[in-house]
């Protein structure tokens, strides 16, 4: 009983319940939802699709979690994703041998390096110039897509390069490459921030920058690090998104993904006010968002009603998570416990 109560009070409880409810809806609409088969040596099934299509959102959301933990926000991730895709595709297109592994390696490296520069730029605006994060990153959000347009000259660049395509739709030991990359990014972030003091420093900067400075935490360096890491995550996601269709579309790659990523972080229980963060929560949040998209297709919700459906689900999750609701619910549980004669001890 106490284990159940403990679980119910966890910040992850409601997001996980929501995920299970969405799974159940899918299962009713489409009985084969949980079926995973091996086709051509690759795992094949709805759950695999959710993981693969959710990978870019998850990768960006991991970076976003750390930024939000410092009481910041990064709106420029979608634009950075578009730039990295555009850079990679134009390099591959411009090379004499688009199919070679070396070309793709160069393209990917250059795209990632450029994203580091963009991340340092965001970090500079926030940490050195002290501009509010939402404004600082808004600059790159608007300008960045223009840069991507300039790189692609307003065209959709289609590349015919098997190694590049592999990034988006390839498999390794039956598992989609995108999922493996997401797992690596997630694992690295968790390891770096939770197995060292880094995570605590980030949280302390988010809770009280002045106090943490006086305690000897160098906020400036930390801010640079989290914004650069976030931009790097965005670039990785952008490469996966671009490789998925083997085409760089400056207008649409990563469009509104910043909102999905922020939502994933918030659903996962990390507060936008900074401080405590939960990477596992972000993982659940990203899965909820992607499952939501799949649910729309499986259940056959008409496109006109899609937005309302998504809004309803997100509203429910946020309502259930709010401290006021939690208090009301726990009060209700207490009364129930009292009535059933178990007394206060059970709660």
Partner 1 sequence: MKKLIGIAAVSGAMLLALTGCASGGSAASEGPKPLDELVVGFAQVGAESGWRTANTKDIQASFEEAGIELKFSDAQQKQENQIKAIRSYIQQQVDVIAFSPVVETGWDAVLNEAKAAGIPVVLTDRAVDSQDDSLYVSFLGSDFVEEGEKAGQWVLDEYADASEPVQIIQLEGTTGAAPAIDRAEGFAEVISANPNLEVVASQTGDFTRAGGKQVTEALLKSNPDVDLIYAHNDDMGLGAIEAIEAAGLEPGVDIKIVTVDAVKDGMQALADGKINFIVECSPLLGAQLVDIVKQINDGETPEKRIITEETTFTQEEAIEALPTRQY
- Which residue in the set 6, 39, 194, 334 belongs to the binding site for partner 1 (CB under 8 A)? 39
Binding window for partner 1 (CB under 8 A); candidates: 76-84, 114-122, 148-156, 321-329: 148-156
Contacts 24+ apart (CB under 8 A), 298-306: 298/26, 298/29, 298/30, 298/33, 298/46, 299/25, 299/26, 299/29, 300/29
C-alpha to C-alpha distance for 214 and 106, rounded to whole angstroms? 43
Binding window for partner 1 (CB under 8 A); candidates: 1-9, 245-253, 258-266, 334-342: 245-253
> Hey, which residues between 268 and 297 contact partner 1 (CB under 8 A)?
293-294, 296-297
Q: What is the Rg, in whole angstroms, of the alpha carbon atoms belonging to the chain?
A: 22
25 binds partner 1 (CB under 8 A): no
- Which residue in the set 46, 70, 122, 278 belongs to the binding site for partner 1 (CB under 8 A)? 46
> Hey, which residues between 306 and 335 contact partner 1 (CB under 8 A)?
306
247 binds partner 1 (CB under 8 A): yes
142 binds partner 1 (CB under 8 A): no
C-alpha to C-alpha distance for 126 and 222, rounded to whole angstroms? 11
Residue-by-residue DSSP string for 224-291: HHHHHHHHHHHHHHHHHHHHHHTEEETTTTTTTHHHHHHHHHHHTT--TT-S---HHHHHHHHHHHHH
- Which residue in the set 13, 30, 124, 166 belongs to the binding site for partner 1 (CB under 8 A)? 30
C-alpha to C-alpha distance for 220 and 335, rounded to whole angstroms? 49
156 binds partner 1 (CB under 8 A): yes
> Hey, which residues between 209 and 238 contact partner 1 (CB under 8 A)?
none
Shortest Cβ distance from residue 122 to partner 1 (Å)?
A: 24
Q: Compare residues 172 and 332 and give the one whose CB is closer to partner 1.
A: 172
45 binds partner 1 (CB under 8 A): yes
C-alpha to C-alpha distance for 125 and 75, rounded to whole angstroms? 13
Q: Compare residues 44 and 124 and give the one whose CB is closer to partner 1.
A: 44
C-alpha to C-alpha distance for 253 and 241, rounded to whole angstroms? 7
Residue in 267, 105, 245 with CA at minimum distance from that of residue 165: 245
Q: Compare residues 14 and 171 and give the one whose CB is closer to partner 1.
A: 171
Q: For residue 218, what are the contacts with CB-CB under 8 A and spacing of at least 6?
A: none
Shortest Cβ distance from residue 208 to partner 1 (Å)?
A: 41
Shortest Cβ distance from residue 142 to partner 1 (Å)?
A: 11
Q: How many DSSP H helices and E strands does the chain contain?
A: 15, 6
Binding site for partner 1 (CB under 8 A): 29-30, 32-33, 39-40, 44-46, 49, 53, 146, 149, 153-156, 158, 169, 241, 244-247, 249, 251-253, 293-294, 296-298, 300, 302-304, 306
């Amino acid at each position: 009983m106490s284990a159940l109560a403990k679980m119910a009070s966890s910040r992850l409880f409601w997001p996980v319940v929501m995920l299970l409810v969405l799974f159940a809806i899918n299962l009713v609409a489409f009985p084969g939802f949980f079926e995973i088969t091996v086709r051509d040596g690759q795992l094949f099934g709805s759950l695999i699709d959710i993981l693969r299509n959710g990978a870019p959102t998850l990768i960006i959301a991991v970076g976003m979690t750390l930024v939000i933990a410092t009481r910041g926000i990064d709106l420029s991730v979608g634009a950075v994703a578009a730039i990295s895709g555009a850079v990679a595709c134009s390099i591959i297109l411009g090379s004499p041998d688009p199919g070679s592994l070396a070309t793709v390696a160069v393209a990917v490296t250059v795209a990632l390096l450029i994203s580091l520069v963009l991340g340092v730029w965001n970090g500079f605006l926030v940490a050195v110039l002290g501009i509010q994060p939402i404004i600082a990153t808004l600059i790159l959000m608007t300008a960045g897509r223009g840069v991507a347009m300039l790189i692609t000259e307003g065209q959709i660049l289609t590349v015919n390069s098997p190694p590049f395509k592999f990034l988006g739709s390839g498999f390794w030991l039956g598992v989609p490459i995108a999922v493996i990359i997401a797992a690596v990014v997630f694992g690295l972030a968790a390891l770096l921030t939770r197995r060292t003091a880094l995570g605590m420093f980030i949280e302390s900067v988010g809770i009280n920058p002045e106090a943490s400075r006086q305690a000897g935490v160098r906020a400036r360096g930390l801010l640079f690090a989290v914004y650069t890491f976030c931009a790097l995550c965005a670039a990785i996601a952008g490469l996966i998104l671009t490789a998925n269709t083997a085409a760089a579309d400056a207008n649409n790659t990563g469009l509104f993904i910043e909102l999905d990523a922020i939502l994933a972080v918030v659903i996962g229980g990390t507060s936008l006010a900074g401080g405590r963060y939960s990477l596992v929560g972000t993982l659940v949040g990203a899965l909820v968002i992607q499952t939501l998209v799949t649910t729309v297709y499986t259940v056959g919700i008409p496109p006109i009603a899609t937005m309302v459906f998504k809004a309803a689900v997100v509203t429910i999750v946020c309502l259930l998570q709010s401290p006021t609701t939690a208090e009301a619910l726990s009060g209700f549980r207490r009364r129930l416990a009292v009535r059933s004669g178990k007394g206060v001890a059970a709660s």
